[in-house]
Amino acid sequence: MRSIGIGVIGAGVMGAEHARIIAREVSGAHLAAVADADPARAEAAAHGGRAMTDPEALIADPSVEAVLIASPDATHQRLVLAAIAAGKPVLCEKPLAASTQECLEIVAAEARAGRPLVQTGFMRRFDPAYREMKAAIDGGALGGVRILHCQHRNLAAPAWFTGAMAVTNSLVHEIDVCRWLLSTEYSAVTVIPSPEGDPALFVFETEAGSIVSVEVFMNAAYGYHVHAEAVCAKGTVGMAHPAPIRARRDGAEEGAFPENWIPRFRDAYRIQDQAWVDGIGAGTPPADGSTAWDGLVATCLADQIVAAMETRRRTPLTLPEKPR
Amino acid sequence: MRSIGIGVIGAGVMGAEHARIIAREVSGAHLAAVADADPARAEAAAHGGRAMTDPEALIADPSVEAVLIASPDATHQRLVLAAIAAGKPVLCEKPLAASTQECLEIVAAEARAGRPLVQTGFMRRFDPAYREMKAAIDGGALGGVRILHCQHRNLAAPAWFTGAMAVTNSLVHEIDVCRWLLSTEYSAVTVIPSPEGDPALFVFETEAGSIVSVEVFMNAAYGYHVHAEAVCAKGTVGMAHPAPIRARRDGAEEGAFPENWIPRFRDAYRIQDQAWVDGIGAGTPPADGSTAWDGLVATCLADQIVAAMETRRRTPLTLPEKPR
Amino acid sequence: MRSIGIGVIGAGVMGAEHARIIAREVSGAHLAAVADADPARAEAAAHGGRAMTDPEALIADPSVEAVLIASPDATHQRLVLAAIAAGKPVLCEKPLAASTQECLEIVAAEARAGRPLVQTGFMRRFDPAYREMKAAIDGGALGGVRILHCQHRNLAAPAWFTGAMAVTNSLVHEIDVCRWLLSTEYSAVTVIPSPEGDPALFVFETEAGSIVSVEVFMNAAYGYHVHAEAVCAKGTVGMAHPAPIRARRDGAEEGAFPENWIPRFRDAYRIQDQAWVDGIGAGTPPADGSTAWDGLVATCLADQIVAAMETRRRTPLTLPEKPR
Amino acid sequence: MRSIGIGVIGAGVMGAEHARIIAREVSGAHLAAVADADPARAEAAAHGGRAMTDPEALIADPSVEAVLIASPDATHQRLVLAAIAAGKPVLCEKPLAASTQECLEIVAAEARAGRPLVQTGFMRRFDPAYREMKAAIDGGALGGVRILHCQHRNLAAPAWFTGAMAVTNSLVHEIDVCRWLLSTEYSAVTVIPSPEGDPALFVFETEAGSIVSVEVFMNAAYGYHVHAEAVCAKGTVGMAHPAPIRARRDGAEEGAFPENWIPRFRDAYRIQDQAWVDGIGAGTPPADGSTAWDGLVATCLADQIVAAMETRRRTPLTLPEKPR
């Protein structure tokens, strides 16, 4: 029975969650090793696999056939390049790298390797609600998408949060998932921040002619809530409230929201990781996965949008030439 | 038993509906007369009251103590001025007049009359859903409004519809109801039309610091649908689906939308007309009614927004000095 | 302008509400007088009309053309008979009378009067949700009703509540509205009380072959909630949550329930009272109104159901011969 | 890396689905073999594992460490006994066996084996909606359950369906899941069939004092729909509509229902099979799994309920003495 050995780098919240998914919920793979600078944290996340402190050693280890990177953002590019150099498939949490230039280096390295090795961890592409929306849109019965309305609401921004992070940490998910949903690229953005700066409204125009409107609210207070509604020529399709149950008490009927993204996207992470493993086994990455190029697009556009926040003018969005 | 004689001018769709409401659903008033250029149409709408063809004669008629204007838009200003001249309270369907200048003449005439006589027919202020939203916002428990998201969707635009009418016929309702909901004035607008022109997104900034985002879609195809959601500092409040029942059949659970605004706002029209009648009886117009000034604001801003559609630039919005 | 003078007997919660509706929300009528044993209460409810203490005097008063009875239950039959004797139309809050025999006397008195004078105040027949359900059922597209599931939940039973009152005060509404919804009569009932007695489940069989299942819960704690869902051969139709808005806060999306029946059925009461007034004006009672016979059926069946609560056996339900 | 070899018996709809889940979605196990009388069907379901025609040979095969039975009902008991005899854990689709007596033989055989080997495939216990309902109930904030309302609706009964099968094939799921949800046993049932026989209403009383009301409708026409709502002393908890998206088109907002149970319970099957595999690895069956005794209870009560359908009388429900 073929089982792929996975090494997870980073044992923080997301790294531990990925390690748990690989160890307990994914078919065709096992958790070979976990690396974290904190050995106790690595141990706690290892589910009986090897605990290490050196990520380069993990990548080099023969028991590790593929690498999942969930370490601090600043380390992503270096570790992705190391995995490519080792010829090992790698799934990297967003952001793929800190700049367009760094992302281009990854794209180039992967091209030299001669086969797709990199997947960027934009897990929403595997969320059942987004997937059913995409199926409804692609099915064609609703006609073309005219406006895609999105809300991205977090309970409360951490203390260290800066305005730009609303783009680079939060909006970046909509940047990826909406161009995937609509099968198009963005051509321009207009940013309308509220006077407090948070929330802000980002309005994109796309090459396909759709408008994408995204509210990002880092301090929405009532819970973590991601919503999308596609307004099409013949109808709309949008997300239902995500909770499977409703309670009635104290004068109201209630549907609960989670406190953060992990419960909301638990299935998406599992399905993403399974699809990644399946792709390794099959020698072909998952059709809908976010590639190195997709990771580049997200980073590249986020930078331009941060700049557009200052000017409040409609700002054309551009991408580098895509290597062949 | 005091019953106020109401004269309705115009017996088209809206005039006939108002006549029915006055005749059948409003306390403290009766339908004294209906005037329409088409005598058969006037007769059909009169519910046993007098049918006339001359609106000026209706205004002058002693049995008519108050006037409800639902005639073609181009006649509104002249008839409102005539009612003021006759010293009779008047409820005028939107628009109050065709230009800011014409509205100012009404405001001035009313000021000379020395008492409030004019109500503009922005009926949404009396819609139970909007009123409950306003009560929730004003109650303060949700904190200040940061973004107000609105959708205004019509089934299909009539053949004679032009782009500007999306503003002057449809958006004008949001112009009025959102400044009422938020108790503020608009300071700027940015228009982002879809390439087809319809739908378009209008993003307002307000003096109170809220953003108001309005999608106007004249050809939404699935039905008539008006929605609003206020995103506040501590939570949100928005409209529920308006239908009182749900059906399950053919593989789905369904909630129906009406084909146009009349079923959706049937209660709003009735409550508005009742409040207008109550105000006449009490000698004080309804606290939440749209005044002549409010009618001016809607017309004045609609003109500026139509201009802003061309430039696609963020456009400051201004109002004339309000007479004291 | 014809305006019918209405006299309201009883100025408690329901009487005051009816008086307000007649005085402020109904077309074609005015509040001529209010009678209550407590003169201050009568005065407070009279909206400028006459305040009286003697209900018989109210009925006899020439300014009173029609009588609305909302006095204590024990007085209903006597006052209804007095109104019939005076030849005045009467709308009587449920119950019409305390026993089948007393109801029969009303039916006989009305028959002797030679024209329909009595309407029983089962206001749910005028509730928009019930009416849309009935229209969907009668439209036929869903096929025949197989099961009608109902919930009737009160926040908390008053201290003086006895088990039988769950039938005579609460279930009695379902007894009336379900036979109206289904256009049939009941043939049998099976009562399954919970061990605490509250809630209890009442399962009816009907002559049309439908089952009607009603949960009555006097102490449902979370709010006042009435729900119905008709399960038909080709689909279902049921009520939506009644609130027009939804709030999100404190980790949940909420739709509120009222504390009692008055806000829930405010429209139903107004529409019922308007239909009653319209019927008086037209000389024909409203087609869907609950007649004296319907009031008898409710009282007659409630008595049999109270008896069936004891036995817990399937109990056939019978009605007296309907007089011609 | 430990991976448990699973053998699946039966490659019909459910067997093929289980084989797919084991092969593609479950961690810690692999699909060792599939047996079906039709070798092509076995081959098609084997996902590269061994295809066999003899289920006894599959059970005996050393590569098969645990057995999943999804063959025709009549074979269940014999194959479960064979697995127990081989000392191999077995997950058997419902029903566990055709009679209480046959189930008792399984319970006895398992007792002789000295460790729990049998899990009955009542997968609803692993459905996220049921699990969240149970967590809410067990959490205690809602107080004790007074009534549990259930609907079990199928699109259309197959041609070979008999009335008793509404109990043995459909209701049997509620028999299992409701006693698990409420942590109690049933004491009596009253059956109220509609005149056509379908739908029927089954009202259970429980030892804990709750009422369980179940509508079973084999020909509900609009889709496959399972719903449950627990009415508790301080509030209610029930299932939300199961679809993750909503569409608006053709005059309505829609949430879709699936055609049968497989899409509705896809997650439940996966989670059940994963929990079973995890339990084998840990040497302890899943805490919430349905045991051999639970399988017996379902079969035993189904027989009594079928008998009670005839009498329409309240029928006490009894269980054999549970072996220690």
Per residue in A196-227, pLDDT (tens digit) is 899 999 999 999 999 999 999 999 999 999 99
What does the CA dihedral A123, A125, A128, A130 come to, rounded to 10 degrees? Answer: 130
Assess if residue D322 is contained within a domain.
no
Give Cβ neighbours of residue B61 (< 8 Å, ≥ 6 apart).
Answer: B7, B32, B33, B50, B52
pLDDT-derived band at B2 (thresholds 50, 70, 90) equals: confident
Please report residues of B whose CB lies closer than 8 A to that of C255: 240
D235/C194 Cβ within 8 A:
no
For A148, list phi and psi in degrees, rounded to 5: -115, 110
Percent of chain A with pLDDT over 90: 94
For D:249-268, CB contacts with B below 8 A are: 249-257, 259
- Give the mean model confidence (pLDDT) for residues D87-104: 98
What pLDDT shows up at residue A2? 84
Assess if residue B166 is contained within a domain.
yes
A287-296, C3-12, C199-208, D315-324: segment of lowest average pLDDT: D315-324
Assess if residue B294 is contained within a domain.
no
Give Cβ neighbours of residue A244 (< 8 Å, ≥ 6 apart).
Answer: D128, D129, D132, D239, D240, D242
In this structure, what CATH number is given to the domain that contains residue C176?
A: 3.30.360.10
Q: What is the pLDDT of residues B132-189, one digit of tens each?
A: 999 999 999 999 999 999 999 999 998 888 889 999 999 999 999 999 999 999 999 9
Query: What is the 3-state secondary structure of chain B?
Result: CCCEEEEEECCCHHHHHHHHHHHHCCCCEEEEEEECCCHHHHHHHCCCCEEECCHHHHHHCCCCCEEEECCCHHHHHHHHHHHHHCCCCEEECCCCCCCHHHHHHHHHHHHHHCCCCEEECCHHHHCHHHHHHHHHHHHCCCCCEEEEEEEEECCCCCCCCCHHHHHHHHHHHHHHHHHHHHCCCEEEEEEEECCCCCCEEEEEEECCCCEEEEEEECCCCCCCEEEEEEEECCCEEEECCCCCEEEEECCEEEEECCCCHHHHCHHHHHHHHHHHHHHHHHCCCCCCCECHHHHHHHHHHHHHHHHHHHHCCCEECCCCCCCC
Q: Is B111 in the same domain as B195?
A: no
What pLDDT shows up at residue A1? 59
Cβ contact C30:C15 at 8 Å: no
Q: Is the pLDDT of residue D56 over 90?
A: yes
- Give the mean model confidence (pLDDT) for residues A98-104: 97
Confirm or reject contact between A237 and chain D (CB < 8 A). yes
Higher-confidence position of C310 and D167: D167
Interface with A, mutate which of D25, D27, D239 (most A CBs under 10 A): D27
Nearest chain B residue to A231 by CA: give it.
B220
Instruction: Please tell me the distance from the alpha carbon of residue D24 to that of residue D41, in angstroms, as a whole number.
Output: 18
Please report residues of B whose CB lies closer than 8 A to that of A188: none
Confirm or reject contact between A27 and chain D (CB < 8 A). yes
Which of A67, A92, A120 finishes a domain? A120
Assess if residue D278 is contained within a domain.
yes
Assess if residue C298 is contained within a domain.
no
Instruction: Report which of B141, B142, B147, B136 is spatially closest to residue B209, judged by C-alpha positions.
Output: B147
A259/C254 Cβ within 8 A:
no
Q: Is B130 in the same domain as B116?
A: no
Instruction: Report which of A195, A214, A218, A219 is spatially closest to residue A203, judged by C-alpha positions.
Output: A214
Q: Is D152 in the same domain as D262?
A: yes
pLDDT-derived band at B119 (thresholds 50, 70, 90) equals: very high
Domain extent at residue B28: 4-120
**From the CA atom positions of chain C, what is the Rg in Å?**
20
Q: Which chains touch C (3+ CB pairs under 8 A)? A: A, B, D
Task: Using alpha carbons, list the distances in angstroms from residue B103 to A105, B59, B177, B297.
Answer: 63, 20, 18, 9
Q: Is B176 in the same domain as B312?
A: yes
Q: Is D14 in the same domain as D153?
A: no
- Give the mean model confidence (pLDDT) for residues C164-187: 97
Assess if residue C297 is contained within a domain.
no
Assess if residue C250 is contained within a domain.
yes
Please report residues of D whose CB lies closer than 8 A to that of C213: 201, 213, 215
Neighbours of A164 (CB within 10 A): 14
Instruction: Please tell me the distance from the alpha carbon of residue B271 to that of residue C278, in angstroms, as a whole number.
Output: 19
Instruction: Please tell me the distance from the alpha carbon of residue D30 to that of residue D4, in angstroms, as a whole number.
Output: 6
Q: Is A144 in the same domain as A255?
A: yes
What pLDDT shows up at residue C155? 97
Confirm or reject contact between B320 and chain D (CB < 8 A). no
Q: Is D56 in the same domain as D193?
A: no
What pLDDT shows up at residue C1? 59
Q: What is the pLDDT of residues B278-297, one digit of tens each?
A: 999 999 999 999 999 999 99
Instruction: Please tell me the distance from the alpha carbon of residue D228 to that of residue B151, in angstroms, as a whole number.
Output: 34
Give Cβ neighbours of residue A279 (< 8 Å, ≥ 6 apart).
Answer: A89, A119, A285, A286, A289
Confirm or reject contact between B241 and chain C (CB < 8 A). yes
Q: What is the pLDDT of residues C63-120, one digit of tens each?
A: 999 999 999 999 999 999 999 999 999 999 999 999 999 999 999 999 999 999 999 9
What residue has token string 């748990």? A20
Task: For residue A192, give the nearest of B195, B199, B211 by CB distance.
Answer: B211
pLDDT-derived band at C323 (thresholds 50, 70, 90) equals: confident
What residue has token string 């961690």? D27
Q: Is B132 in the same domain as B72?
A: no
Cβ contact A41:A58 at 8 Å: no
Instruction: Please tell me the distance from the alpha carbon of residue B305 to that of residue B191, in angstroms, as a whole number.
Output: 8
Instruction: Please tell me the distance from the alpha carbon of residue D179 to that of residue D291, in angstroms, as a whole number.
Output: 13
Instruction: Please tell me the distance from the alpha carbon of residue A69 to that of residue A55, in angstroms, as a whole number.
Output: 9
Which of A92, A120, A148 finishes a domain? A120
Q: How far is B155 from chain D (nearest CA, A)?
A: 9
Task: Using alpha carbons, list the distances in angstroms from residue B101 to A214, B169, B175.
Answer: 38, 19, 18
Which of A120, A147, A179 finishes a domain? A120
C209/D196 Cβ within 8 A:
yes
- Give the mean model confidence (pLDDT) for residues C250-268: 98
Nearest chain A residue to D132 by CA: give it.
A245
Please report residues of C whose CB lies closer than 8 A to that of D313: 313-314
Percent of chain B with pLDDT over 70: 100
- Give the mean model confidence (pLDDT) for residues A5-15: 98
pTM above 0.80, yes or no: yes
Instruction: Please tell me the distance from the alpha carbon of residue B36 to that of residue B30, in angstroms, as a whole number.
Output: 18
Q: What tokens does A139 get? A: 């099915």
C244/B132 Cβ within 8 A:
yes
Instruction: Please tell me the distance from the alpha carbon of residue C1 to that of residue B3, in angstroms, as a whole number.
Output: 8
Q: Is the pLDDT of residue D2 over 90?
A: no
Interface with A, mutate which of C226, C239, C246, C254 (most A CBs under 10 A): C254
Please report residues of C whose CB lies closer than 8 A to that of B26: 27
For C:78-117, CB contacts with A below 8 A are: none
Q: How far is D207 from chain A (nearest CA, A)?
A: 25
Task: For residue B129, give the nearest of C3, C141, C244 by CB distance.
Answer: C244
Confirm or reject contact between A234 and chain B (CB < 8 A). yes
Q: Is the pLDDT of residue D296 over 70?
A: yes
Q: Is A147 in the same domain as A251?
A: yes
Q: What value, to the nearest 5°, has the Cα angle with vertex C22 and ends C16 and C23?
A: 85
Q: Is A68 in the same domain as A172?
A: no
Buried b (16+ CB within 10 A) or exposed e, B69-106: bbbeeeebbebbbbbbebebbbbbbbbbbeebebbbbb
Q: What tokens does C95 get? A: 């119950």
D217/C146 Cβ within 8 A:
yes
Instruction: Please tell me the distance from the alpha carbon of residue C161 to that of residue D213, in angstroms, as a whole number.
Output: 26
Q: Is the pLDDT of residue C308 over 90?
A: yes
Query: Looking at this predicted complex, what is its ipTM?
Result: 0.96
Nearest chain C residue to B227 by CA: give it.
C245
Q: Is B114 in the same domain as B131?
A: no
Confirm or reject contact between D195 and chain C (CB < 8 A). yes
Task: Please count the structural domains in chain B.
Answer: 2
- Give the mean model confidence (pLDDT) for residues C33-37: 98
What pLDDT shows up at residue D1? 60
Confirm or reject contact between D1 and chain B (CB < 8 A). no
Q: Is the peptide bond before A95 cis (omega within 30 degrees of 0)?
A: yes
Task: Using alpha carbons, list the distances in angstroms from residue D175 to D132, D205, D299.
Answer: 19, 12, 9
Q: Which chains touch A (3+ CB pairs under 8 A)? A: B, C, D
Confirm or reject contact between B231 and chain D (CB < 8 A). no
Please report residues of B whose CB lies closer than 8 A to that of A197: none
For B205, list phi and psi in degrees, rounded to 5: -110, 150
Please report residues of D whose CB lies closer than 8 A to that of B244: none
Q: Is the pLDDT of residue A250 over 70?
A: yes
Instruction: Report which of C66, C48, C88 is spatially closest to residue C5, judged by C-alpha positions.
Output: C66
Q: Is D252 in the same domain as D153?
A: yes
For B109, list phi and psi in degrees, rounded to 5: -65, -40
Q: What tokens does B97 get? A: 């007049």
Confirm or reject contact between C188 and chain D (CB < 8 A). no
What pLDDT shows up at residue B180? 98
Nearest chain A residue to D20 by CA: give it.
A27
Q: How many CA atoms lie within 13 A of B264 on its CB side?
A: 24
Buried b (16+ CB within 10 A) or exposed e, D138-173: eeeebebbbbbbbbbbbbebeeebeeebbbbbbbbb
Instruction: Please tell me the distance from the alpha carbon of residue D322 to that of residue D324, in angstroms, as a whole number.
Output: 6
What pLDDT shows up at residue B312? 81
Q: What is the pLDDT of residues A56-79, one digit of tens each?
A: 999 999 999 999 999 999 999 999
Assess if residue C145 is contained within a domain.
yes
Q: How far is CA C39 from the centre of its chain?
A: 27
In this structure, what CATH number is given to the domain that contains residue C86?
A: 3.40.50.720
Cβ contact C130:C148 at 8 Å: no
Confirm or reject contact between A312 and chain B (CB < 8 A). yes
How many helical (H) and strand (E) elements, i.e. helices and strands, does chain D have? 11, 16
Interface with D, mutate which of A245, A257, A266, A278 (most D CBs under 10 A): A245
3-state secondary structure at position C154: coil
Please report residues of A whose CB lies closer than 8 A to that of B234: 221-222
